């Protein structure tokens, strides 16, 4: 496979294999995206990416990481996303949204204000999780979700998917990675429940499977649904690659088209073996063993490296995060370096 070959996804065709990874901007008020989000996401569509996935977008106010996260829990947010998705589409990229619930990692400061839990009385809120176990010292002790709470989480994801469609998004990615709510259910380190949602593999994966099914009820068969997983917790007794492969196998028949393969985020003191393309082997293994398309992400920073991941069949797409902050034109630069043609917008032709 070639980095610049088209990638069919249901009735859509991604124009190449480079996707802008979801990245929180922590710059919204009341969950409503604004000019920053339009310019940030729009620039990366102009930059030549095949799909641009908007940051972790909360399905409910309590599902935000920080008070400044974007959301899709009301119609004001839906309306504000419309011009953004329209602009991305006009520039040949598929607009995607990552639907998310932060669980026990919610109610936090944005990173440049220090990160960590919001102190009591400073706009904090009660967080929820599978079990009443905090993320780390100094973090909120979450409330364990009861049956009604679980039903609400499923219906919030379904309603957000409906709004995503009305807002013009063409790709949904469910955020089940990085230690947020859905990942908290998957991992035995954060899920100590004794009911149908904890204990066995089937029980720990139940909430995610229910959400996939609920989203698929309202998200058209014509459009792709991706899931981001942390393939491993990098921690003894936690979620691991074997379970990720098994889960990927079960998600495919439920209508999931691709596993965006990340890692970590569940526990604060995990020992992560960082290095260039360090998560690519997880994407390759899930792709091979679960026979599902995968995305590789994490320290992929050069065109040659991105091209090799796809050429060697380790993943179907690469997701680029920080390098696309440094250079929104990364896909165009990669095309130039690798001798592929990505025509610039007509307004910019004289520069090429
Ligand atoms: C500023 C910033 C915000 C991020 N926000 C999200 C997010 O909203 N959802 C998510 O799944 N990952 C998020 N990530 C992780 C990236 O999507 C990506 O997985 C990670 O940065 C590794 O890729 P990279 O080495 O290309 O940066 C964020 C990363 C950065 C740098």
Catalytic residue among 26, 180, 197, 329: 180
Residue nearest to ligand 1 atom 21, measured at CA? 321
Is pLDDT of 312 > 90? yes
CATH code: domain of residue 284: 3.20.20.70
Tell me the average pLDDT of the chain.
97
In the prediction, which pLDDT does 147 show? Answer: 98
| Structural domain harbouring 299 | 7-343
Is pLDDT of 179 > 90? yes
In the prediction, which pLDDT does 340 show? Answer: 93
Distance 280 CA to ligand 1 centre (A): 15
Question: Which of 249, 320, 239, 323 minimizes the C-alpha distance to 285?
Answer: 249
Query: Best of 59, 180, 321, 324 to mutate for ligand 1, by most ligand atoms within 8 A of CB?
Result: 321
Distance 265 CA to ligand 1 centre (A): 11
In the prediction, which pLDDT does 352 show? Answer: 80
In the prediction, which pLDDT does 143 show? Answer: 98
Residue nearest to ligand 1 atom 7, measured at CA? 23
List all residues whose CB is within 6 A of at least one atom of ligand 1.
21-24, 55-56, 98, 175, 177-178, 228, 262, 297-300, 320-323
Distance between CA atoms of residues 302 and 91, nearest Å: 23
Atom of ligand 1 nearest to the CA of 175: 11
User: Is 77 within 8 Å of 71 (Cβ atoms)?
Assistant: yes
Banded model confidence at residue 260, pLDDT cuts 50, 70, 90: very high
Domain-located, residue 352: no
Distance 23 CA to ligand 1 centre (A): 5
Distance between CA atoms of residues 59 and 159, nearest Å: 8
Instruction: Please say if 180 is a catalytic residue.
Output: yes
Rounded to an integer, the average pLDDT of 315-329 is: 98
Tens of pLDDT along 212-256?
999 999 999 999 999 999 999 999 999 999 999 999 999 999 999
Residue nearest to ligand 1 atom 18, measured at CA? 321
Rounded to an integer, the average pLDDT of 323-347 is: 94
Distance between CA atoms of residues 39 and 68, nearest Å: 17
Tens of pLDDT along 284-308?
999 999 999 999 999 999 999 999 9
Query: Best of 18, 22, 40 to mutate for ligand 1, by most ligand atoms within 8 A of CB?
Result: 22
Rounded to an integer, the average pLDDT of 184-194 is: 98
Atom of ligand 1 nearest to the CA of 56: 8
Domain-located, residue 113: yes
Distance 262 CA to ligand 1 centre (A): 9
Banded model confidence at residue 344, pLDDT cuts 50, 70, 90: confident
In the prediction, which pLDDT does 191 show? Answer: 98
Tens of pLDDT along 56-68?
999 999 999 999 9
Is pLDDT of 79 > 90? yes
Could you count the other beta carbons within 10 Å of the beta carbon of residue 106? Answer: 32
Number of independent structural domains in the chain: 1
Is pLDDT of 169 > 90? yes
Burial (0-12, 13-18, 19+ Cβ within 10 Å), 166: middle
In the prediction, which pLDDT does 165 show? Answer: 99
Q: Which residue has the tokens 């994490």?
A: 298
Domain-located, residue 255: yes
In the prediction, which pLDDT does 120 show? Answer: 93
User: Is 82 within 8 Å of 126 (Cβ atoms)?
Assistant: no
- The distance of Cα 73 from the centroid of its chain, to the nearest Å, equals 17
Domain-located, residue 28: yes
Domain-located, residue 350: no
Atom of ligand 1 nearest to the CA of 300: 26
Domain-located, residue 61: yes
Please report the DSSP string for 75-143 in residue order.
HHHHHHHHHHHHHHHHTT-EEEEEEE--GGG-SB--GGGT-SBPPTTSS----EESSS--SSTTS--PE
* Residues 6 or more apart in contact with residue 170 via CB below 8 angstroms: 12, 85, 89, 94, 95, 96, 223, 224
In the prediction, which pLDDT does 343 show? Answer: 84
H or E element, residue 18 = strand 18-20
Atom of ligand 1 nearest to the CA of 173: 11
Domain-located, residue 257: yes
Is pLDDT of 341 > 90? no
Domain-located, residue 349: no
């Amino acid at each position: 496979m070639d980095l610049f070959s088209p990638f069919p996804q249901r009735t859509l065709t991604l124009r190449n294999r480079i996707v802008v990874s979801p990245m929180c901007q922590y710059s919204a008020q009341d969950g409503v995206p604004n000019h920053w989000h339009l310019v940030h996401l729009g620039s990366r569509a102009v930059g030549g990416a095949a799909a641009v996935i908007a940051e972790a977008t909360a399905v409910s106010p309590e599902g935000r990481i920080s008070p400044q996260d974007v959301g899709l829990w009301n119609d004001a947010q839906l309306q504000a996303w419309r011009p953004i998705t329209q602009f991305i589409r006009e520039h040949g990229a598929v607009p995607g949204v990552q639907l998310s619930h932060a669980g026990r990692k919610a109610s936090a400061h944005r990173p440049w204000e220090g990160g960590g839990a919001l102190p009591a009385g400073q706009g904090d809120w009660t967080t929820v999780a599978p079990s009443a176990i905090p993320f780390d010292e100094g973090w909120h002790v979450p409330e364990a979700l009861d049956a009604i709470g679980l039903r609400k989480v499923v219906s919030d994801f379904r309603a957000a998917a409906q709004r995503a469609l009305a807002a013009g998004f063409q790709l949904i990615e469910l955020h089940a990675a990085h230690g947020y709510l859905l990942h908290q259910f998957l991992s035995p380190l954060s899920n100590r429940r004794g009911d149908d949602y904890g204990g066995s593999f089937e029980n720990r994966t139940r909430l995610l499977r229910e959400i996939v099914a609920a989203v698929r009820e309202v998200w058209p068969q014509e459009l792709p649904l991706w899931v981001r997983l942390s393939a491993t917790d990098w921690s003894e007794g936690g979620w691991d690659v074997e379970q990720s492969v098994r889960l990927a196998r079960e998600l495919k028949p439920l209508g999931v088209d691709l596993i965006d393969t990340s890692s970590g985020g569940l526990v604060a003191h995990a020992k992560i073996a960082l290095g260039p393309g360090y998560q690519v082997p997880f994407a390759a293994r899930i792709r091979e063993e679960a026979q599902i398309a995968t995305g590789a992400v994490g320290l992929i920073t050069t065109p040659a490296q991105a091209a090799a991941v796809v050429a060697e069949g380790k993943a179907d797409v690469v997701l680029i995060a920080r390098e696309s902050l440094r250079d929104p034109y990364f896909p165009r630069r990669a095309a130039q370096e690798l001798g592929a043609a990505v025509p610039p917008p007509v307004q910019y032709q004289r520069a090429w």
